[in-house]
Amino acid sequence: MRKLRCRKGFTLVELLVVVALIAVAASLMYTFFGQGLSLYTAESESADEQANMRLVLSDITNKVRLTPTGTSCANNVLTVGDSVYRRSGQQILRNDGVIASGISSFTVTINDEILDIRIESTAGKALETSLSLKQ
């Protein structure tokens, strides 16, 4: 009778199959994590842009509500009391201090004592508001 031999270890083919399976699993995980990270980055940037635009609208709204008279606009430059809001490049300035960046458009109009404000980011997102100037 033959003696049974105890085999220890793995064959080269078995090791290659395991390495190939691990490589396939790792590449799938890398793809999913890469897509998730890029989506997270894009959404985070979009949220930051919208927060900047909301901050400007909130600041202007509060200033208009607290200033009883003296609100005017000309050439997309808004004057509320002693504060002047305008766009310079990709920034919105209040009295020459930057309050938002990444802005492509800042439109201000007054019609029939209604102040209309529209802000658009460089990514194409836009926010609008209308305020009554009646006392």
pLDDT at res. 1: 54
Indicate whether 2 belongs to any domain.
no
pLDDT at res. 69: 80
Indicate whether 127 belongs to any domain.
yes
Distance CA 108, CA 83 (A): 14
Indicate whether 1 belongs to any domain.
no
Indicate whether 3 belongs to any domain.
no
pLDDT at res. 68: 77
Low-confidence ranges of the chain (pLDDT < 70): 1-7, 135
pLDDT at res. 133: 85
How many CA atoms lie less than 13 Å away from 51 in the CB half-sphere?
A: 6
Indicate whether 20 belongs to any domain.
yes
Distance CA 106, CA 31 (A): 39
Domain that residue 19 falls in: 12-132
pLDDT at res. 49: 86
Indicate whether 97 belongs to any domain.
yes
Indicate whether 5 belongs to any domain.
no
Which strands make up the sheet holding 83-88, listed edge to edge? 71-74, 77-80, 83-88, 91-94, 97-101
- How many domains does one find in the chain? 1
pLDDT at res. 2: 62
pLDDT at res. 78: 94
pTM: 0.70
pLDDT at res. 17: 94
pLDDT at res. 98: 92
Indicate whether 51 belongs to any domain.
yes
